[in-house]
Structure 1
Amino acid sequence: MVKAVVLGAAGGIGQPLSLLLKNSPLVDELALYDVVNAPGVAADLSHISTKAKVTGFLPADDGLEKTLTGADIVVIPAGIPRKPGMTRDDLFKINAGIVHDLVEGVAKFCPKAFVLVISNPVNSTVPIAAEVLKRHNVFDPKKLFGVTSLDVVRASTFVATVAGKADPSQITVPVVGGHSGETIVPLLSQATPAFSPKNDEERDALIKRIQFGGDEVVQAKQGTGSATLSMAYAGFKFAEALLKAAAGEKGIVEPTFVYLPGVEGGAEVQKAVGGLDFFAVPVELGPEGAAKATNPIGSISEHEKKLLEACISGLKGNIQKGVEFKKEASKL
C-alpha cells in the first residue's frame, strides 16, 4: 500500500499533479493538503474511476498531521507562483517560510517518507528542508529531492524543435546544477541521440531558452500564472520514477537536486563542483531513494565548463541563503 501526499494540492501545480497521481496505478491512497479548497479538490478527484482513495484536509483540526501520517512519498508544490518581473529569488521570503513549516510536519508525522520539493526557489528551499530534518534528527539524504525534472523535459522538447525531431521523449539531454537561470546547465554535448547546434548563435539561444523557459511561460500567461501544467507533469514524472524504483524496478536514473555528501557517488561530483553540498545530477534510484549519483561533468565541452563556473557561483549563494534562513528561523 502506497500513500502519496501533495502539500499545496489546490494550487496551479498541485491540482494537475494530484490528478496525475490519482491516475497512477502505483498509488493506493492520495492525501491532499492546502490552506484552502483541498477537500473540494479531493472530492472532485474521488469521482475518477481509479483505485487510489482520496482525502483532503485544511490546517484546522490537525489537518497536516492527518494528511502526513503514514505517508510514503510527500510532494511539495506549495507556495506562491512567479509573476511578471519576479525571479525565483523574489519568491524566497514567502516560499521559504511555507516549506519550512510543511517540512516540520514531515519530520514529526512521516519522517521516513520520500520528500520531493517543487516549491521555488528549489536551490534554497531544499537546503531549508534538509536543515529542518537535521534539527529533528531524521535527515536521510537519500530521501530528500529537489525536483529539477522540468529543466530536462524542456531541454528534450526544445532540442527536438531545433533538430526537427517529431518525438521529444526520444531525446535525452542531461541537465545539471540547480533550478534557476544560470544555475541550469544543459549538457548538449551529451545529448542522446547526439545533437550538434549549427553554430554558436543557435547553441546560445537554445541554452538560454532552457535556462529561462519559465520566463517564457510567465510572459505568455500575462501575469495570470507561471509554469504549472508542465511542472506538474515533470513532478509526476519524477515521483512515478521514484515509486517504481522503491517497488524494485532496476536501472531508473533521473536528474534531481540532492545532498551530495549523503549519496553514493556524491563525493566525486562534489569535488568537480567546488565543494557544493547540493547539486543536480542524474541519480540512480532504488528502494531506499537516491542509490547513486553519477558524474557527467568530466567530459563536458569547453563552453559548458564556462556555464558550470557561473552555475557554481550562483548556487553557492542560493544554498547558503537557505541554510541561513533556517538558522534565523531557529532563533524565533
Structure 2
Amino acid sequence: MVKALVAGASGGIGQPLSLLLKGSPLIDELALYDVVNTPGVAADLSHISSPAKVTGYLPADDGLQKAFTGTDIFVIPAGIPRKPGMTRDDLFKINAGIVKGLIEGIAKYAPKAYILVISNPVNSTVPIAAEVLKAAGVFDPKKLFGVTTLDVVRAETFVGSITGEHDPSKLTIPVVGGHSGETIVPLFSQAKPSVNIPTDKLDALVNRVQFGGDEVVKAKDGAGSATLSMAYAGFRFAEKVLKAIKGEKGIVEPSYVYLPGISGGDAISKITGQEYFSVPIELGPSGAEKAIDVVSSANDYEKKLLEAAYTGLAGNIQKGVEFAQQPPAK
C-alpha cells in the first residue's frame, strides 16, 4: 500500500498534479491537504475510475495530523504566486514559512517519508526543509528532493524543436545547479543521443531553459505562471521515485539534493563548493542512492555557466539555512 500526499493540492499546480497522481497505478491512497477547498477537489477526483482512494483535508479538526499520518511520499507545491507590488523577499518569507510548517508536520507524523519539494524558491526551500528535519533528529538526505524536473523537461522540449526530434522525452539532457535563472545549467554537450546545437542558437537556447518560466508568465498576461508544465514535471519525478521504491532498476533523474548525505555526493560538493546542488540521481528503494558527477565533464562554455550558478546558489542556500535557524518574528 502506497499513500501519497499533495500539500497545496487546491492550487494552480496542486490540482493538475493531484489529477495526474490519481491516475497512477502506483498509488493506493491519495491524500490532499491545503488551507482551502480540499474536500471539493478530493470529491471531484474521487469520481475518476482509477485505483487510488482520495481524501481531502483542511487544517481544522487536526486535518494536518490525519492527512500526514501514514504517508509514504509527499509532493509539495504549496505556496503563493507573486502578486502585484510584492517583492521577491516578501514572497520568500511567506513561502518559506509555509514550507517550514509543512516539514515540521512531516517530521512529527511521517518522519520516514520521501519528500519532494516543488515550492519556490527551491534553491532555498530544500535547505529549509533539511534544517527543520535535522532539528527534529529525523533528516535522511536520501529522502529529500528538490524537484528540478521542469528544467529538464524544457531542455528536452526546446532541443527537440531545434533538432526535429518527434518525441523530446526520448532525449536525455542533464540539467544541473539550481532551479532559478542563472543557477540552471543545461549540459547539452552530454545529451544522449548527442545533439548538435548550432553555435548561433546556443546562447538563446540556454537562456530559454533558464528563464522559461518568464515566457509562460508573459504569455498568460498576468493570469498565472507555469502551473500545468510544473504539475507534469512534478508527476514525472514522483512517478520515478515510486517506481524506484517498488524495485525498478536503472532510474536516473536530476534532482536538487543535499550532496554530502548521498553516495558520490561528497566529490561533487568539493567540485562545486555547494552542499546543495542538482545532478542526475540514481533512484532506488532507499531514495537517492547515488549522485552522478556530470559537472567534471562540462565543456568550457558550460564551465562559465557553472561559475555563475555557484555564486547565485551560495546566497540562496545561506538564505534558506538562516531562515530555518532564525525565522523572522511574526
TM-score (norm 2): 0.97
1:121-270 mapped onto 2 (5 Å cutoff): 121-199=121-199, 201-270=200-269
CA distance in 1, matches of 2:179, 2:26: 27
SS at match of 1:310: helix
CA distance in 2, matches of 1:14, 1:100: 18
Partner of 2:304: 306
Q: Which amino acid aligns with 1:132?
A: V
CA distance in 2, matches of 1:84, 1:194: 43
1:71-150 mapped onto 2 (5 Å cutoff): 71-82=71-82, 91-150=91-150
Partner of 2:24: 24
Q: What is the Cα deviation at residue 84 of structure 1? A: 7.5
State the Cα deviation string for residues 207-236 of structure 1 (Å, max 9, x = none).
000000000011111111111000000000
Q: Is the 8 A contact 1:130 1:139 kept in 2?
A: yes
Partner of 1:65: 65
SS at match of 1:154: helix
Q: What is the Cα deviation at residue 130 of structure 1? A: 0.3
Partner of 1:52: 52
State the Cα deviation string for residues 284-318 of structure 1 (Å, max 9, x = none).
00101000000001111101000000000000000
CA distance in 2, matches of 1:169, 1:21: 19
Flag structure 2 segments of 5+ consecutive residues without an equivalent: none
SS at match of 2:326: helix
Q: Is the 8 A contact 1:84 1:219 kept in 2?
A: no
Which sits farther off after the overlay, 220-229 or 84-93? 84-93
CA distance in 1, matches of 2:82, 2:250: 35
Q: What is the Cα deviation at residue 329 of structure 1? A: 2.1
Q: Is the 8 A contact 1:256 1:283 kept in 2?
A: yes
Q: Which amino acid aligns with 2:313?
A: L
CA distance in 2, matches of 1:213, 1:85: 22
Q: Is the 8 A contact 1:246 1:288 kept in 2?
A: yes
Q: What is the Cα deviation at residue 193 of structure 1? A: 1.4
Q: Is the 8 A contact 1:128 1:322 kept in 2?
A: yes
1:271-290 mapped onto 2 (5 Å cutoff): 271-274=270-273, 276-290=274-288
Q: What is the Cα deviation at residue 163 of structure 1? A: 1.3
State the Cα deviation string for residues 64-85 of structure 1 (Å, max 9, x = none).
1111000000010000124589
> Aligned residues: percent identity?
71
SS at match of 1:210: helix
Q: CA RMSD in A?
A: 1.5
SS at match of 1:285: strand
Q: Which amino acid aligns with 1:316?
A: A
Q: Which amino acid aligns with 2:215?
A: E
Q: Is the 8 A contact 1:10 1:36 kept in 2?
A: yes
State the Cα deviation string for residues 4-23 of structure 1 (Å, max 9, x = none).
00000000000010001100
State the Cα deviation string for residues 249-304 of structure 1 (Å, max 9, x = none).
10000110000010000011111102x11000000001010000000011111010
Aligned match for 1:319, one of 311, 317, 320: 317
Q: Which amino acid aligns with 2:294?
A: P
Q: What is the Cα deviation at residue 196 of structure 1? A: 2.0
Q: Which amino acid aligns with 2:62?
A: D
Q: What is the Cα deviation at residue 63 of structure 1? A: 0.6
Q: What is the Cα deviation at residue 146 of structure 1? A: 0.2
Q: Which amino acid aligns with 1:9?
A: A
1:271/1:169 CA distance change after superposition, 3 Å? same
The aligned length equals 330
Q: Which amino acid aligns with 1:46?
A: S
1:89/1:217 CA distance change after superposition, 3 Å? farther
Q: Is the 8 A contact 1:253 1:284 kept in 2?
A: yes
